[in-house]
Homo-oligomer: A and B are copies of this chain.
Amino acid sequence: MTAATIRLHPADNVVIALADLGAGTVLPEIGVPLLLPVPRGHKVAVAPIALGANVIRYGQIIGAATQAIQAGEHVHTHNLGMGAHDTDYAFGTDLRPLPPVTEARQFLGYHRADGQVGTRNYLGVLTSVNCSGSVARFIAEACEKEDWLRDNPAIDGVVPIVHGTGCGMSGKDEGYETLFRTLQGYARNPNFAGILLVGLGCEVMQVPDLIGKGRMRGDGAFRYMTIQQTGGTRRTVEKGVSILREMAEQSAQAVRQPAGLEHLVIGMQCGGSDGYSGITANPALGAASDLLVAHGGTTILSETPEIYGAEHLLTRRAVSREVGEKIVERIKWWEDYTGRWGGEMDNNPSPGNKKGGLTTILEKSLGAVAKGGTAPLSEVYKFAEPITTRGFVYMDSPGYDPCSVTGQIASGSNLIVFTTGRGSVSGYKPVPCIKLSTNSEMYARMSEDMDIDCGDIVAQGVSLEEKGREIFEMFLATASGQRTKSEDLGFGGAEFVPWQMGAVM
């Protein structure tokens, strides 16, 4: 059944028109006829809003009434402004605990020696530099032809982790440190049963530096070599295959065991957004995120350029001033970063956005933040920093999908969930990626790539709560081994994209 409007959160004092509504339309949640027409995608007040009072969408402040608003009135630029809080970083003033859960849930995962739990069981061939990328691929391809891998149902495959950087760069700036964290993070991701690191030998990102004094993995399933020391391509491939064979034999006993949801770390992502993202897939994912967090799990919000302008709302949800201030620090960093190239941070609604019903920068950015539900913000991380707290967290990243997901996986994600309106078809080995379509038209066209259609929220009146539960159940099923569409299609071999930050020298 198609509804005329959607309410994105129980606390909202506006609803969103799902079709052009004519004057005189009577909406059940209001009971009085609309005085004026409201276009599709625009907001209607469901209760009187006093002058200066907050307008609430997604359960979040999107601005304040610039005049008294009646129930049934169209809410847009003529009566809604940014309000006083837009330059005010309040900390922890909007902490709303999630409802307690009655039933403990589990998934079936691979328990690692360091206490992490994997949702997949891959072996990885990690590279320090582009110059060892082809050799890493040759090693993985050679392994795929071997019986010990093909006939071993315990191993999901051998994944070459290949990229375009690692040399021609400074050895001591923020770009270097970021790549360093990213490579270390992949080496430690629990979806790998073991890692072989392959370098060329003369690169800036030196293998001995990466390894440091200890090994890169607490479970010891880590080996390394350089092509120059090993004596060229053929010898390196031969030795690599033999190392991975040993690792595969050690990993062959791995079986999935029950694990609490505190071991699920889910990177949330949106890419190819459309006008439906903010009313279907993103808030539905927000509901699923709140459910997972209530069950003790962790969800990661990222993509700083897309939340720009709504950081004031995240600081209000921060569990402490210290956590909130980290968000503010990241925002300032980004203003500097984009300024170096003569650009600027700008997520203001465009004329087209405004025509579509988005009034303020808060409202636009909240379309992306909606993925993060309403849970308290428990910690803020830099790109690829190891995530050690539980709950809803923030990891800084660009909005660019493969780069942002790369950071989330380096931070420890063992599951990715990705909302898309236009239809993104990527995957991110070693971590499965669940695709949520924002609209049923795209889902119908690209159903072989999409895991869940969230367009039925609009097309069939499915509630956000119900859709949130469906997504939550898919989290658990996927974490326990059910394959996603992008895994079945074989994605994940080209999407490792470290955040390249400095000058290429």
Q: Which residues of A contact B (CB under 8 A)?
A: 130-131, 133-138, 162-165, 167-170, 173, 175, 200-202, 227-228, 231-234, 271-272, 305, 337-338, 340-343, 398-403, 422-427, 445-449, 489-495, 497-505
Contacts and interface: CB of A to CB of B under 8 A. Distances in A.
Contacts of A426: 130-131, 134
A250 to B, nearest CB: 28
A232 B448 CA distance: 7
B399 A343 contact: no
Contacts of A500: 164, 500, 504
A235 to B, nearest CB: 8
Contacts of A133: 494-495
A286 B127 CA distance: 33
Contact of A164 (B163, B232, B448): B163
24 contacts: A131-B402, A131-B426, A137-B493, A164-B403, A164-B497, A164-B500, A167-B400, A168-B399, A202-B272, A202-B423, A202-B424, A227-B425, A231-B446, A232-B449, A233-B425, A233-B448, A233-B489, A234-B448, A305-B505, A341-B501, A341-B502, A343-B503, A398-B505, A400-B505
B130 A490 contact: no
Contacts of A502: 341, 343
Given A168-B400, A202-B422, A228-B272, 11 more contacts: A135-B425, A164-B403, A164-B497, A168-B403, A170-B343, A227-B425, A228-B422, A232-B425, A232-B449, A340-B341, A398-B505
A471 to B, nearest CB: 21
Given A173-B341, A342-B173, A403-B168, A131 B424 contact: yes
Nearest to A235: B448
Most-contacted residue by chain B among A162, A231, A489, A503 (CB, 10 A)? A503
B341 A175 contact: yes
B427 A134 contact: yes
B499 A504 contact: yes
Nearest to A404: B168
B134 A445 contact: no
Nearest to A132: B425
A133 B501 CA distance: 21
A296 B135 CA distance: 37
A289 B175 CA distance: 36
Contacts of A503: 337-338, 340-341, 343
A87 B492 CA distance: 51
Nearest to A491: B134
A398 B168 contact: yes
A200 to B, nearest CB: 7
Nearest to A172: B343
A263 to B, nearest CB: 28
Nearest to A133: B494
A490 B232 contact: no
B162 A494 contact: yes
